[in-house]
A and B are shown apart, each in its own frame.
Chain A
Amino acid sequence: MAFSKDHELHTRRFGRNVSLAVVLVALIGIVFGLTVVKVTTGQPLEGFDHVARPHMIPQEGN
């Protein structure tokens, strides 16, 4: 026996909640995938802070 009966609201919103869960899991997958791609292709990972870092700037002859 269930501890408590589901409120009618839970029933009505079930489909919407499941869909939202799928979207959130997909978002996690996308952010993880982006991280993997950026790391494995050697793209700069420090480009989006507020300080220009000398070692991020390509040097001539390198």
Chain B
Amino acid sequence: MSDTSINKPETGEAQFSDFFALLKPRVMSLVIFTALVGLLVAPGSIHPFIAFCGILFVAIGAGASGALNMWWDADIDRIMRRTQKRPIPAGKVTPNDALAVGLALSGFSVVLLWLATNALAAGLLAFTIFFYAVVYSMWLKRSTPQNIVIGGAAGAFPPMIGWAIVTGDVSLESVLMFAIIFMWTPPHFWALALFMKSDYDDAGVPMLTVTHGRRTTRNHLLVYTLLLAPVAVGLGFTAIAGPIYLTIAIALNAWFIKGAFEIWRRDEAQAEADHYKTEKAFFKFSLLYLFLHFGALLVKPALAPFGMGGW
């Protein structure tokens, strides 16, 4: 058997759904949600159709960066169980096709976002795509255990872009929304890395669990969770939030810190004994944590017509 036969794609025609899968629809849904919240809480008004187009182009841009990431990471995606069914390792889409889709949609989304809204929003989208595809995927992911920390910025830009679509600028509120996702990403992924341990090891991706061990990862997870709390609660004192957001943020962060503290207290023997129950629960809660924070930001615009919700 020759070496080339290992990487040879299976025969079969790529369907539209395979190309759609290149865009990482699940990540895209989070991008749409956070960008939409950034847009809805921003001061000022925008025509609903332009708002719809703005969010659509942000989603397409995020999808394009996902396609570029899959093109670059096809070799390690083949190794990791979690990613083996992606379109390229599954042999449904060729790497060149994925690259073409990623580049075409990147240009398309940035140019149309510029034409539909403004240069700052388009510039932020272009930088986000560059950051995820080049800075994170190509430079950081395989070279440093800080990959998740710095790379998390790519996922944190969408609410800032949503804000810029309406206002055309960057402000304290949009920076804090960015900071919540940026600080949330490391504990979220490190919890995943703790219980998906063989995947990253096998692929040689220098996750903190691989390079510095599980004890250090547990320490880092707790520290980042503690640093996240003041950012998330601090947003509650700005003009876009109100007492309802603040109450929800305090409750969510108390719970999140409790979960991180429990992870920190455990050692590997305890974690393996209950099949990483605490780490898995923390990971699931982390998704809810982000969703509820951004959902709580919508309370104020929803109650504003009745003169309630804000400070």
Q: Which residues of A contact B (CB under 8 A)?
A: 12-13, 15-16, 19-20, 30-31, 33-34, 37, 41, 48
Among listed B11-19, B76-84, B222-230, interface-contacting one: B11-19
Can you list 26 A-B pairs with a CB-CB distance of less than 8 A?
Answer: A12-B13, A13-B13, A15-B15, A15-B16, A16-B13, A16-B14, A16-B15, A16-B16, A19-B16, A20-B16, A30-B53, A30-B56, A31-B112, A33-B49, A33-B53, A34-B49, A34-B50, A34-B53, A34-B115, A34-B116, A37-B47, A37-B49, A37-B50, A41-B47, A48-B114, A48-B115
Contacts of A13 in B (CB 8 A): 13
Q: Across the interface, which residues of A come within 8 angstroms of B114, CB to CB?
A: 48
* SS class, residues of chain A in contact with chain B: helix
- Min CB distance A30 to B, Å, is 6
Which residue of the partner chain B has the closest CB to A26?
Answer: B56
Min C-beta distance of A29 to chain B, whole Å: 11
Which residues of A lie under 8 Å from residue B56 when comparing CB positions? Answer: 30
Q: Which residues of A contact B15 (CB under 8 A)?
A: 15-16
Q: Closest chain B residue to A18 by CB distance?
A: B16
**Chain B residues within 8 Å of A15, by CB:** 15-16
Q: Tell me the minimal C-beta distance from B173 to chain A in angstroms.
A: 25
CA distance A31 to B56 in the complex (A): 12
Cα-based distance from A41 to B116 in the complex (angstroms): 13
For residue A16, which residues in chain B have a CB less than 8 angstroms away from its CB? 13-16
- Since A16-B13, A31-B112, A33-B53 are in contact, a sample of 15 more A-B pairs with Cβ atoms closer than 8 Å, ordered by chain A residue number, is A12-B13, A13-B13, A15-B15, A16-B14, A16-B16, A19-B16, A30-B53, A33-B49, A34-B49, A34-B50, A34-B115, A34-B116, A37-B49, A41-B47, A48-B114
A19 / chain B contacts, CB cutoff of 8 Å: 16
Q: With A and B bound together, what is the CA distance between A37 and B48 in angstroms?
A: 10
* A31 vs B14: C-alpha distance when bound (angstroms): 28
Q: Which residues of chain A come closer than 8 Å to B14, judged between CB atoms?
A: 16
Contacts of B50 in A (CB 8 A): 34, 37
CA distance A32 to B114 in the complex (A): 16
Expressed in whole angstroms, the Cα–Cα distance for A37 and B54 within the complex equals 13
Complex Cα distance, B116 from A20, in Å, reads 23
**Closest partner residue, chain B, to A48 (CB atom):** B115
Residues of chain B with a CB closer than 8 A to A41's CB: 47
Give Cα distance in the complex from A19 to B15, angstroms: 9
Roughly how many angstroms separate A16 CA and B116 CA in the complex, as a whole number? 28
How far does the alpha carbon of A44 sit from the alpha carbon of B14 in the complex, in Å? 43
Task: Tell me the minimal C-beta distance from B23 to chain A in angstroms.
Answer: 12
